[in-house]
Structure 1
């Protein structure tokens, strides 16, 4: 995430436009910021910086330009694209595709597998928040390109100084794996671990190794009975 700050130092209100461009394969969301700025006001906008799954290691930059035409002052921010680690002990979720039952505003499913498990960065949308207030169950799933042996899932729910897990984190959930042989070969989710009454920020669920192409967190309840919030999901062999 990049925090783009736009300030109006004049004594009069104005409208401001900022354009963002990035070297391939990097992408920014949003790529345009437009807002009314009162005199002396600073607008902060979190911008998601990402690269498609499978991108090779590379150096790139994000360029931030002022003005509707992009001809005003500009700055460039260096970006390092790193392929997810592989091999024994690697977090399989970092190289997986991700989906969810729903998403709220900027808290998309991809935020839960971006490698950042710091809850203090929650306001920069580094995590997943479902989009159906007070409606459960919710789910977040990661799907691998090929089957992996999985025996541990680490779930980081929201637990910052301001937003504690005991108040805002996940309370009850099941860890599920995709069982391709279930239902006569049509496949179904199978629960391999369950957590109830949780108030901690980080919970590791271990189980007998199972070969699967997908893992899902099936959320039954949160401690505020409002939203499901996952800062980071880790899946390990």
Structure 2
């Protein structure tokens, strides 16, 4: 397809710049010293500028072919309105519209003549992306900052995403009054797109999420055979990563405890240009976490982030795993990617461990993805440390676990259940992290009518989800109706074992100490309520501590 280009800028440089952009390569002269001149001082040859990968050159060439029919289609008022409507939907989280969607909806709406030569030229140009080096790409319109109130223009300005992903500017095109393509005088750069609507022709970064689109959690320790691939597919984040939210509450000492919950607290990309320029759209970061045994335990796709925000901290609070040292080892490898799509490939990653050793495994990615670097996280390191892969920086956080800090209430947020429940007095009140001792169903659990302690004891329990080593529980009960007699029991994997007993209590907060026990469940077995109402036992809050 031929394309007439006329420059509206000063001089004839714009057309030449467009030609250079189309080629996407640089010719660099280099000089090599011969043996006869080896001892002479010579001016250093300029460093060679790497050419874009061949697939990027092919994509860019076909985007250039798409330019004229796309501009012709955008000259129609109804087509422009349709494209902007599709862009506003942000079907994949970005301000873009697939040309295949535009074509389908325009024809369904009867706003175009499907047999018009210009429209057929558009469809033909789009079809040229169906097989580029064996992969089907989806061409699209991407409108930077469309979601920030950019005013639509009556005449569309288009740009073609450069083959060089690091380009900071490119040429803009419009149709003149005669329907010919002309270049505009202003370069399309970050400043220009902040205040002007620009339709960028690019390909959609279609992400291959593998066999499972969402993984709710990492596998429990001990459930994965050594050397197996624990997580297939990608755990996709479902929140706006640019939204600043509260960060995880870490162990205050910055130390990890065995079987503590490990979180990726926050991350950022200090250099906004690390993964391409403004024509790439929002950034899609992926994290792969590998144990020292080579097991992938997290494969996480973060919500999209605008390039201009990615150098700011993104508070993610992503749960990684419960770090059981006996299963996962003393180190984990963190490998980052920025996703750009393309054919699926497999590669071996090797993450060096500080002090010696390497974490290795095979990871599936896509050929256009950018390597975000990797680093190892050691169990022995402080969670206050900031990790740096080169392009990406991040912080970790650890909560709870065996040993604890003395301040970790393992029962806070635990799963609560009971032998019976009086209407409105939910067992969840006992693990809601609220020590309020007021009387009533808004503050406490109580057993059901007709269960009759003390002859038939009633219980409420907290399930931590993982084993914890505890030495102390604190029981909060109801004002005016304190629980009088009760046992503290723990689950040993077979049955419940009584580790301490309390009789004749009249206090609203009772601390019970006992020999250290490792358990997943702690239970309060209520034997009697107060003397004036022995048949009801009330627990407002149950706390469990390591020390």
**1:95: how far off?**
3.1
**1:134: how far off?**
5.9
**1:115: how far off?**
1.5
After TM superposition, the structure 1 = structure 2 runs for residues 11-90 of structure 1, keeping only pairs within 5 Å, are: 86-87=399-400, 88=405, 89-90=407-408
- TM-score between both structures, scaled by the size of structure 2: 0.25
Q: How many Å separate the matches in 1 of 2:464 and 2:434?
A: 20
Query: Structure 1's 149 and 131: CA in aligned 2 closer, same or farther, altered over 3 A?
Result: same
The corresponding residue for 1:119 is 437
The corresponding residue for 2:534 is 225
Q: Is the 1:117–1:232 contact (alpha carbons within 8 Å) kept by the matching residues of 2?
A: yes
The corresponding residue for 2:521 is 214
Query: Structure 1's 123 and 173: CA in aligned 2 closer, same or farther, altered over 3 A?
Result: closer
RMSD over aligned CA atoms reads: 2.5
Query: Structure 1's 124 and 58: CA in aligned 2 closer, same or farther, altered over 3 A?
Result: farther
**1:104: how far off?**
1.1
Q: How many Å separate the matches in 2 of 1:102 and 1:155?
A: 18
Structure with greater helix share of residues:
2
After TM superposition, the structure 1 = structure 2 runs for residues 45-194 of structure 1, keeping only pairs within 5 Å, are: 86-87=399-400, 88=405, 89-120=407-438, 122-123=439-440, 125-133=442-450, 135-136=452-453, 137-159=457-479, 164=480, 168-180=481-493, 187-194=494-501
Give the secondary structure class of the aligned counterpart of 2:412: helix
**1:129: how far off?**
1.2
Q: Is the 2:526–2:537 contact (alpha carbons within 8 Å) kept by the matching residues of 1?
A: yes
Gaps spanning 5+ residues in structure 2: where? 1-238, 247-316, 320-397
Q: Is the 2:414–2:463 contact (alpha carbons within 8 Å) kept by the matching residues of 1?
A: yes
Q: How many Å separate the matches in 2 of 1:206 and 1:144?
A: 19
User: Where has structure 1 moved over 4 Å in runs of 4 or more?
Assistant: 56-59
Q: How many Å separate the matches in 2 of 1:199 and 1:58?
A: 42
Q: Is the 1:99–1:109 contact (alpha carbons within 8 Å) kept by the matching residues of 2?
A: yes
Q: Is the 2:490–2:499 contact (alpha carbons within 8 Å) kept by the matching residues of 1?
A: yes
**Pairs aligned (count):** 145
Query: Structure 1's 201 and 133: CA in aligned 2 closer, same or farther, altered over 3 A?
Result: farther
**1:133: how far off?**
4.1
Give the secondary structure class of the aligned counterpart of 1:191: strand
CA offset digits 1:148-203 (Å, max 9, x no partner): 101001000112xxxx2xxx2111110000012xxxxxx00000000011111111
The structure with more radius of gyration: 2
- Structure with the bigger RCO (C-alpha within 8 Å, sep 6+) is 1
Q: How many Å separate the matches in 2 of 1:204 and 1:86?
A: 23
Q: How many Å separate the matches in 1 of 2:519 and 2:471?
A: 10
Gaps spanning 5+ residues in structure 1: where? 1-55, 60-81, 181-186
Q: How many Å separate the matches in 2 of 1:229 and 1:236?
A: 21
The corresponding residue for 1:50 is none
Give the secondary structure class of the aligned counterpart of 1:112: helix
Q: Is the 1:176–1:216 contact (alpha carbons within 8 Å) kept by the matching residues of 2?
A: yes
Q: Is the 2:425–2:440 contact (alpha carbons within 8 Å) kept by the matching residues of 1?
A: no
Give the secondary structure class of the aligned counterpart of 2:500: strand
